[in-house]
Structure 1
Amino acid sequence: MFRYGQNDSNGERFWVTKVFSLQSIQPEAAHYNSTAYLKVQYSSSDSSSDLTLNKRKVILAITLPTTSILILLIIVAILYPQRRRKYKENDEDSEFNQLLSGMPTRFSFEKLRECTEGFSKKLGGGGFGSVFERKLDGERVAVKHLEGARQGKKEFLAEVETIGSIEHINLIKLIGFCAEKSHRLLVYEYMSRGSLDRWIYNRRSNTRFDWSTRCKIILHIAKGLCYLHEGCRREIAHLDIKPQKILLDGNFNAKVADFGLSKLIDRDQSKVMTMMRGTPGYLAPEWLTSQITEKVDVYSFGVVILEIISGRKCIDRSRPEEDVHIIYLLREKAQNNQWIDLIVDNNSDDSVSRQEEVIQMMKLAMWCLQNDSSHRPSMSMVIKVLEGAISVESHIIQSFLNANSIMSVQDNQYLYLVREASILSGPW
C-alpha cells in the first residue's frame, strides 16, 4: 500500500514514510492542515474474475483429457470389432490352409457365384443348405451352399476332410470347396439321376427299378459303407444313411454322399460318445445311450433296404396306424408268411420270378436291424450275403421276430429323444 499526504495550506504533497494510525493524530497537535490519500487494492470484481478464470482452467484441464479419452474409446469400439473380425477371418483362412493342404481345390466365393449364375439353378435342398447345378471349368458339377448355423465350421471341416481325403467308386467325389468369410460351399461331381428317394418314393413315375437295378444299388451302398468302416486309416461312421444321401449317375450306379454328420473313430475304440444325430426312422436303438459304433450305419442300411424293396418311406403317417413303421410291417408280414406283400411291385413278373431273392434280401435287412448292435453284421459280411457267398442264419430271423415288445418300448423313448435332443438332418 502506498500512502501520501497533502498540506492544505500550500498544496504541497508528500510521502508518508512511517506507518501510523489516523486515529492517533490529534488535530490540535498538528502544525499543518493535511489530507491523507490512501491507495488500496479493490479486490471484489478482480478476485471474482480471477476465480472464474481459475475455474475455467480447472474445467478445461479436466474436460480436455476426458473428452480425448472418450473419443479414443469410441474409435477403439468402432475399429476393434472390425479388426478382430478381419484377424479372425485371416486366422480361419490360415487354419484352413494348414488343415486342408493337399486337399481338393479351394475356390473363391465370387467364382462359384459367377459359375452358378447367382445360384439360380437349384437341384434340391435340405436342413444344411441348397444344391445348385452348373459347369465349372467345363465340368458339370453340383455346388452345395451351406446355410445357417446348423452346420458350422466344425461340421464343414468334417465333411471336407473326410470326403476330400478318400476316394472310392461308391463314394461321392469332392472336387473342391469354398471357405471365405461366412461362406461355406462344397463342389461335388454331378450325379445326373439325383438322389435315390426321388426314384423309390415316386409311385407316379413311369420309370420303375427292376429287381436287378435295386440289387445293384443296395450292393453299391454296401460297398461304399464298407470302405468307410474298414478301408480307411481311421474308421468313418457316416451317421446319416438314408435314400436322400444316396446319389445315382446316368447308369444308376449309387454313391454315398454328404458327410456333414460323420464321425471319425480310432481303430482301438470299441465305442464313441456323441450326441444324437441323424434322421428319425433310421436311428439305431443304442443312440439312447449316446454310445455308438459304426453299427449304427448298418442299422440305417437295413432300413434303406426295406425302403428300396417296398417303395415306401420308413415312417409313413398317411398309412393306417399298424402300417406306419416299416420295421413293424416287416415283422408282421414275416410272422404271417406274407413276405411278398411288402414288395413295391408284387404283381409284376419280375418280382414274382425273384421271390426267393426278395425274401433273402428281407432277411438280410432283419440281420442289420437287430436291437443289439453286436448281433448285426459288418458291412463286409453284408457284401458276402449280397454276392451269395453266405446266407442269413435262421436264429437271426427268429431273434428279430421275437424283439417286438422290446422294440415298442425303445421306440417310444427313442422318438421322444429324437424330437427333443437330436441334430436332425434334412434332405441332401
Structure 2
Amino acid sequence: MMPSVNSDTSDKDAEPFVEIDPTGRYGRYSELLGCGAVKKVYRAFDQEEGIEVAWNQVKLRNFTDDPAMIDRLYSEVRLLRTLTSKNIISFYNVWRDEDRNTLNFITEVCTSGNLREYRKKHRHVSMKALKKWSKQILKGLNHLHTHEPCVIHRDLNCSNVFVNGNIGQVKIGDLGLAAIVGKSHSAHSILGTPEFMAPELYDEDYTEMVDIYSFGMCVLEMVTLEIPYSECDNVAKIYKKVSAGIRPQAISKINDPEARAFIERCLAQPRARPSAAELLKDPFFDGIDDDENDECLCVHN
C-alpha cells in the first residue's frame, strides 16, 4: 500500500474509496461517470499524482460464453497504451481482478463530460468554437489512421468525444470497437451507432474512411444540436436512408454554406472522402489556430 500524507488524524471528511487497485495507487469512488453496453466508468483518484482519473470496469462474468469479446477488451487496453495524441484519452494502467472477475483500467478523465451533453448544455457557441472542437477531433483521427498499424475507431459519435471545458479541449475516447487494421486497410464486421455509420460499414468491407463519415455526422450534430436521422423512429428506417444515400433532414437546417459544404465532403462516397490529414488543410479551418489552449473557449449559459 502506498504511504499517504495525513494533515489530520481524522478521516471523517474524506470521501471513502469503495475499491483500491493492487498497487494501492488508485482508489475508486462509488460515483458512476458513465455506463455502456460493455463497461462502467467510475470517478477515481490517483494518490501518487494527486489527480482525478476514470476507473473503467468490465465484469468478465458477463462474457464467459464470449471469449472473442474478452479478447476485444484486452485489445482495447493494449491499443490505448500505444496512443500518444493529446486529442485521444490517455491510458494509465490495467489489471485483472481474479477475485471479482473484472478487467479494470485507469484512464484520463475530462472535466466536462462528453461532447453531446456539453453541446446541449451550451447552446450558444460560435462557429469558431465548433471549428476548434472539430479540428481537434480530426487531429485525434489522424493519429489513429496514421498509427502503425492503422486504427479505425468505428464508433465515433459525440458521446464518445470528451471535453475539458475550461480550456476548450476535446479528446476521442471509447475505443472499445476499434479495429486494428493491417496492410489491407479493410475490416470485416458491423459495429457502431446506426445514425453515424457509413453505408459501407453495412457491407462489411470498409477502410478508415468510415471514421471520416462519422466525423461529418458529429459536425452536423454540433452545428444543428440534432442527432442525425432523428426523423427516423427505428434502425431499419435509418439503414434504408443511409444505404440509399439520403442525407439526414438536419442538413437542410444549416444556414452556413461553408459548414454545409464541409459536412458534405465528409459524407461523400468512400473514394471521394478526404483523409483526416486532408481535411485539416480544408479552408473551413482557415484562421483557426493549431494550439487549442491559445484561447479559453469559455461558454456561458
Instruction: Answer yes or no: same fold by TM over 0.5.
Output: yes
What secondary structure is seen at the aligned counterpart in 2 of 1:160?
A: helix
Does 1:175 find its partner at 2:92?
yes
Report the number of matched residues.
248
Question: Would you say the 8 A contact 2:39–2:57 is kept in 1?
Answer: yes
Aligned to 2:140: 224
Does 1:260 find its partner at 2:172?
no
Which amino acid in 1 is paired with 2:227?
K
- Any runs of at least 4 consecutive aligned residues in structure 1 with deviations exceeding 6 A, and if so which? 111-114
Which amino acid in 2 is paired with 1:208?
H
Does 1:130 find its partner at 2:40?
yes
Instruction: From the CA coordinates, give the structure whose radius of gyration is larger.
Output: 1
What secondary structure is seen at the aligned counterpart in 2 of 1:121?
A: strand
Matches within 5 A, 1:150-165: 152-165=69-82
Structure 1 residue 288 displacement after superposition = 2.5
Aligned to 1:388: 286
Bigger share in helix: 1
State the distance in 2 between where 1:173 and 1:113 align. 17
Aligned to 1:83: none
Structure 1 residue 298 displacement after superposition = 0.7
Structure 1 residue 109 displacement after superposition = 4.7
Which amino acid in 2 is paired with 1:380?
A
Question: Would you say the 8 A contact 2:228–2:248 is kept in 1?
Answer: no
What secondary structure is seen at the aligned counterpart in 1 of 2:174?
A: coil
State the distance in 1 between where 2:24 and 2:126 align. 38
Q: Percent identity?
A: 21
Aligned to 2:118: 199
Aligned to 1:34: none
State the distance in 2 between where 1:225 and 1:110 align. 33
Question: Would you say the 8 A contact 2:223–2:254 is kept in 1?
Answer: no
What secondary structure is seen at the aligned counterpart in 1 of 2:281?
A: helix
State the distance in 2 between where 1:278 and 1:153 align. 18
Unaligned stretches of 5+ in structure 2? 1-18, 288-301
Cα deviations by residue, 1:266-313 (Å, 9 ceiling, x for unpaired): 2x31423x2200111111111222111001101101110100000111
State the distance in 2 between where 1:143 and 1:306 align. 31
Which amino acid in 2 is paired with 1:229?
H
Highest RCO, 1 vs 2 (Cα 8 Å, sep ≥ 6) = 2
Question: Would you say the 8 A contact 1:224–1:256 is kept in 2?
Answer: yes
After superposition, the CA RMSD in angstroms is 2.7
State the distance in 2 between where 1:374 and 1:114 align. 46
Cα deviations by residue, 1:235-290 (Å, 9 ceiling, x for unpaired): 10011100111011131201011111111112x31423x22001111111112221
Cα deviations by residue, 1:115-171 (Å, 9 ceiling, x for unpaired): 114xx1111212122211121212210111124338832121211111111201111
Mark the CA change 1:130 to 1:367 in structure 2 (over 3 Å): closer, same or farther. same
Mark the CA change 1:259 to 1:328 in structure 2 (over 3 Å): closer, same or farther. closer
Matches within 5 A, 1:248-397: 248-249=163-164, 250-266=166-182, 268-272=183-187, 274-317=188-231, 327-330=247-250, 333=252, 339-340=254-255, 358-370=256-268, 372-385=269-282, 386-388=284-286
State the distance in 2 between where 1:168 and 1:285 align. 28
Which amino acid in 2 is paired with 1:238?
H
Mark the CA change 1:240 to 1:206 in structure 2 (over 3 Å): closer, same or farther. closer
Mark the CA change 1:114 to 1:233 in structure 2 (over 3 Å): closer, same or farther. closer
In the alignment, which of 37, 48, 54 is matched to residue 142 of structure 1? 54
State the distance in 2 between where 1:375 and 1:261 align. 25
In the alignment, which of 180, 184, 199 is matched to residue 103 of structure 2? 184
Question: Would you say the 8 A contact 1:303–1:327 is kept in 2?
Answer: no
In the alignment, which of 128, 133, 138 is matched to residue 212 of structure 1? 128
Does 1:245 find its partner at 2:160?
yes
Unaligned stretches of 5+ in structure 1? 1-106, 341-357, 390-428
State the distance in 2 between where 1:145 and 1:278 align. 21
Question: Would you say the 8 A contact 1:163–1:173 is kept in 2?
Answer: yes
Which amino acid in 2 is paired with 1:277?
L
Structure 1 residue 112 displacement after superposition = 7.7
